[in-house]
Chains A and B, each alone.
Chain A
């Protein structure tokens, strides 16, 4: 009787989970893969085959865009970690009790501001008629207005800006749980600042670092607005190719193949990252 109730409640709890994962994640992705393996041979006539993937390999623009998206996303992830780690460390370990809460709040409040508004803000600052350009002309530093938009550096800065809080917030939580005595012990044993950072702090924070890196990498590789708006027509971001196939050319088969390629490529990068750092998905992203 008691165990029947237990079993029933387990089934009732499992049902929403199973419906969610099966109907909105697993089946749609399987459908996407199946669709990507369909070749159009004539109007409304399809055949099974790898044609969409062969097209991808034969067209350098496609795979160049994917490689470019991947390598720029790795760069953005690395920069976000490099810039964000000291910020998180300051908030968690150096700031006084009062300012710690305030600083963390300053990171949490703008966390959910849309990419669109962030990119719009950058456009107003950086375009030829924008704030920075006109400020520099006003104080006489430059003669001609400068266009800061539509280049790769701006895209990278904009992407780092969009994702960095998703790096800092999990890092603060991880570092916050670290006992200060561990750092002091490191110094007492004769380690200098760099040794303590490398041998004690970073290993301790590794799950948080990897978790932040995974989320940031995936967000960057999957981002659409920031590269398009800040990079302009030549931003060559892979999500733009997917959109182009789906919406503009109405070639869903090829768009589905591109979607699968993006997913496979980013998953492989994440898998390699987990392998290199000796972490697993369960003890990193799941913990944050």
Chain B
């Protein structure tokens, strides 16, 4: 009897702790998002009433995010970079999955650890090392052949390379996990029924991997979209959204239009993350 009341008190305390944690988790996001709707020039209390001006208004001083050309350009570049990173990293992630699940070659464990490594290298270091190499090549070519290789200077391509360098580890892990669950007797059955290897891959194996590939692509897109550290060193004149927002924060200070962007990104990335979770869920469980 005594132990059950003690247990209940413990459970109650545990639940309170869980509740406190989720409040802690939500508080800054709620603050960042909700001031987008405050009818004021500053993202601070008191609450002045609800407005959608910070999204849709087309004139200063309350220029909404959908009329702010620099923010829109940032959003556009982020989208392009994210899409390229997602495509590239899902492709290499898939070949990596086949390589490590199906392939047999010497020093496989060593190469597997090499594949994991980019995930734990600080993003700042990935950024500077890729910047240094690209500049070395570009300078060398310029000195020797008098040829300017514009694409090796900071810009969209280098940002894509920089993000791709560690995002590929994430996509590889996601797709590898799925391929490990694959029952190879399905492939054998298809082969026995007269299908060619390419047909088996196209009609049996890849459809099985598709949920993991889509989920990996979404995660790659999200990681690329929110990345700052690696991007910071590789960015040229085409700034993606996080860099544009940071510049705005540093130069203009916090304005509610940044809250509008935050709201947009929190909701957008939350929805995409939700899709990536749902899509990977086994229909059975």
B40 to chain A, nearest CB (A): 12
Whether, in the assembled complex, B239 has its beta carbon less than 8 Å from a beta carbon of chain A, the answer is no
A288 to B223 Cα, complex, angstroms: 17
Q: Are B95 and A13 in contact (CB under 8 A)?
A: yes
Render A125-139 as a binary contact track against B, CB cut-off 8 A, 1 for contact: 100011100110000
Q: Are A222 and B105 in contact (CB under 8 A)?
A: no
Taking CB atoms, residues of chain A closer than 8 Å to B44 are 124, 129-131, 134
A223 to B254 Cα, complex, angstroms: 21
Q: Are A263 and B121 in contact (CB under 8 A)?
A: yes
Taking CB atoms, residues of chain B closer than 8 Å to A94 are 11, 14
A 248-288 contacts with B by CB, 8 A: 252, 255-256, 259, 262-263, 266, 270, 281-282, 285-286, 288
B143 to chain A, nearest CB (A): 11
Taking CB atoms, residues of chain A closer than 8 Å to B52 are none
Whether, in the assembled complex, A194 has its beta carbon less than 8 Å from a beta carbon of chain B, the answer is no
Q: Are B14 and A224 in contact (CB under 8 A)?
A: no
Q: Are B249 and A131 in contact (CB under 8 A)?
A: no
Binds B, one of A16-24, A47-55, A58-66: A16-24
Chain B residue with minimal CB distance to A24?
A: B165
Q: Are B92 and A20 in contact (CB under 8 A)?
A: yes
6 contacts between A and B (CB under 8 A): A10-B104, A109-B270, A114-B242, A114-B265, A118-B32, A223-B229
Q: Are B115 and A21 in contact (CB under 8 A)?
A: yes
A31-B132, A106-B25 are contacts. A13–B98 as well, Cβ < 8 Å? yes
Render B92-132 as a binary contact track against A, CB cut-off 8 A, 1 for contact: 10011011000111000101111111111111111011111
Given contacts A17-B96, A20-B165, A28-B130, 6 further A-B contacts (CB under 8 A): A109-B273, A113-B270, A114-B265, A115-B228, A116-B246, A243-B232
In order of increasing CB-CB distance, the 6 nearest A-B pairs are A222-B122, A121-B28, A28-B129, A121-B32, A114-B226, A24-B165
Binds A, one of B15-23, B57-65, B183-191, B206-214: B15-23
A16 in complex: contacting residue of B91, B123, B246, CB < 8 Å: B91
Q: Are B129 and A259 in contact (CB under 8 A)?
A: yes
Q: Are B269 and A113 in contact (CB under 8 A)?
A: yes
* Partner-B contacts on A (CB < 8 A): 10, 12-14, 16-17, 20-21, 24-25, 27-29, 31-32, 35, 83, 86-87, 90, 94, 103, 105-118, 120-125, 129-131, 134-135, 161, 165, 214-215, 218, 221-225, 229, 239, 242-243, 246-247, 252, 255-256, 259, 262-263, 266, 270, 281-282, 285-286, 288
Q: Are A125 and B28 in contact (CB under 8 A)?
A: yes
* Partner-A contacts on B (CB < 8 A): 11, 14, 17-18, 21-22, 24-25, 27-32, 35, 42-46, 91-92, 95-96, 98-99, 103-105, 109, 111-126, 128-133, 136, 161, 164-165, 168, 173, 219, 222-223, 225-226, 228-229, 232-233, 242, 245-246, 249, 254, 258-259, 262, 265-266, 269-270, 272-274, 277
A112 in complex: contacting residue of B46, B116, B245, B273, CB < 8 Å: B273
The A interface, classified by DSSP as helix, strand, loop or mixed, is helix
Taking CB atoms, residues of chain B closer than 8 Å to A161 are 24-25, 28
Q: Are B95 and A17 in contact (CB under 8 A)?
A: yes
A14-B105, A17-B92, A114-B228 are contacts. A25–B165 as well, Cβ < 8 Å? yes
Chain B residue with minimal CB distance to A252?
A: B132
Q: Are A83 and B229 in contact (CB under 8 A)?
A: no
A218 to B116 Cα, complex, angstroms: 13
A201 to B150 Cα, complex, angstroms: 56
Taking CB atoms, residues of chain B closer than 8 Å to A225 are 228-229, 246
B237 to chain A, nearest CB (A): 15
A229 to B28 Cα, complex, angstroms: 14
Q: Could you say which of A16, A107, A124, A222 has the most chain B C-beta atoms within 10 Å of its C-beta?
A: A124
